[in-house]
Amino acid sequence: MRALAIAICLAALPACGTEQAATPLAAAPGADATAPAPAPAAVGVQVDIVAQGFEHPWAVALLPDGGFLVTERPGRLRRVSAGGEISEPLAGVPAVWAHGQGGLLDVVPAPDFAQSRRVWLTYAEPGPGGTAGTAAATATLGDDALADLRVVYRQAPKVRGPNHFGSRVAFDRDGHVFISQGDRNDKPLAQQLDKLQGKLVRLDLQGGIPADNPFVGREGARPEIFSYGHRNMQGMAIDPLTGVLWASEHGPRGGDELNLPEAGKNYGWPVISNGMDYGSNQPYPETIGTDAPGMESPYHVWAKSPGLSGMAFLRGQPDSPWNDSLFLGALADRDLIRLSLDGNRIAAEERLLQDLGERIRDVRVGGDGAVYVLTDAEDGKLLRITPKR
């Protein structure tokens, strides 16, 4: 593992501040409205390169043997040893629609991976006539190939366009798997319950539909749906301390969100939004404001979009200065966001890795408290981040 020629010591940034500071974090109306306090005194950051040379890596999974799995958006899955050796692409990966934001996306070990060797993948699946949609599959991990691939979820209908596929996978404590998605840049679909675009779906671990999903038995609604009104969820994680599901969501020009999705609730896109149309810098015609009856305002929102992607919690490390934190990758701002947590309350925000100038695509936390991030580039890197006191 090679150390970068930097050990970054960053001044802590106020969570709510001026434009000269990092992007401010604002509490949404009706959410956790306690204003975040300034972050505690910053510590140094040690950055080590685990491996590099990936083509637009999208997700990293930490394996029990100390190695990793890394997806590359063009459609390749690679093993990385604990020492940083990168394998040839594994065989048996499903065909992906690798255009725009589409391709091979998330990879996550199943909860029983130690026994089953099963992994979950999400990806943009090609359809007829140039259409595509988000899909999820499970497979058994071998030394140089996936076996027993089974597609367990397909977004319907498949539509045209290269954007807003999501997609992350998270497992709760009760035998469910959550699959985040995007609206495929077709805004009205996010509010239509007979379509799967712009929805968070919940399945059981065999790919079936849980009987207590909120829209089971409702005419004109897809039973897979857990929540709806989402624009493009590219980050999702279960808090290991509380069991609460958190999801990050891209706004348009402004208005990136954190949500704590709940069953059956409508998160508003595109009817409510804190962002603007890219072309006019005005609200979209469909948007009536930042809140509306029957729709959930964001738990927290950034006025200027960091470009939120992967996210991970660091809990249960009392000796770490980063204990009780949520880390989020930032693509547009090219840094790593650390939110200091007090339960579910966001107490402070700090920006790390600003000097790298890299798009941070994914974030995972190891059992030893180390933070692993992927940089999204033609020569992407897997980095290990640790506090340096």
Domain 2-388 bears CATH identifier 3.90.420.10: no
- The reported pLDDT for the residue numbered 1 is 54
H or E segment and range at residue 116: helix 113-116
| DSSP letter string, 124-170 | EEE-GGG-EEEEEEEEEE-SSBEEEEEEEEE-SS-B--S------EE
What is the pTM assigned to this prediction? 0.91
Which is it for the CA torsion 80, 81, 87, 91, positive or negative? negative
Angle at 296 between CA 311 and CA 263, to 5 degrees: 75
Beta bridge partners of 104: 123
Q: Which of 214, 82, 69 is nearest to 144 (CA)?
A: 69
Q: How far apart are CA 128 and CA 162, in angstroms?
A: 15
Q: How far apart are CA 289 and CA 231, in angstroms?
A: 16
In the chain, the amino acid numbered 16 is C
Helix and strand element counts for the chain (H, E): 1, 25
| DSSP letter string, 257-279 | EEE---TT-B--TTTB-S-B-TT
Per-residue CA distances from 248 to 111, 139, 166 (Å): 22, 26, 10
Given the residues 56, 164, 250, 300, the one annotated as active site: 164
Q: How many CB atoms lie within 10 A of CB 204?
A: 15
Are 13 and 340 within 8 A, CB to CB? no
Contacts of 143 (CB under 8 A, 6+ apart): none
The number of CA neighbours under 13 Å toward the Cβ of 194 is: 2
- The reported pLDDT for the residue numbered 39 is 52
Total residue count of the chain as it appears in this document: 389
- The reported pLDDT for the residue numbered 130 is 97
Per-residue CA distances from 13 to 247, 364, 373 (Å): 23, 23, 21
Are 361 and 306 within 8 A, CB to CB? no
Tens-level pLDDT at each residue, the chain (389 residues): 544 433 333 333 333 322 223 333 444 444 454 445 555 556 799 999 999 999 999 999 999 999 999 999 999 999 999 999 999 999 999 999 999 999 999 999 999 999 999 999 999 999 999 999 999 999 999 999 999 999 999 999 999 999 999 999 999 999 999 999 999 999 999 999 999 999 999 999 999 999 999 999 999 999 999 999 999 999 999 999 999 999 999 999 999 999 999 999 999 999 999 999 999 999 999 999 999 999 999 999 999 999 999 999 999 999 999 999 999 999 999 999 999 999 999 999 999 999 999 999 999 999 999 999 999 999 999 999 999 87
Q: Is 164 a catalytic residue?
A: yes
- The reported pLDDT for the residue numbered 342 is 97
Contacts of 181 (CB under 8 A, 6+ apart): 134, 155, 165, 166, 167, 196, 197, 198, 199, 200, 201, 230, 233
Which is it for the CA torsion 226, 231, 234, 237, positive or negative? negative
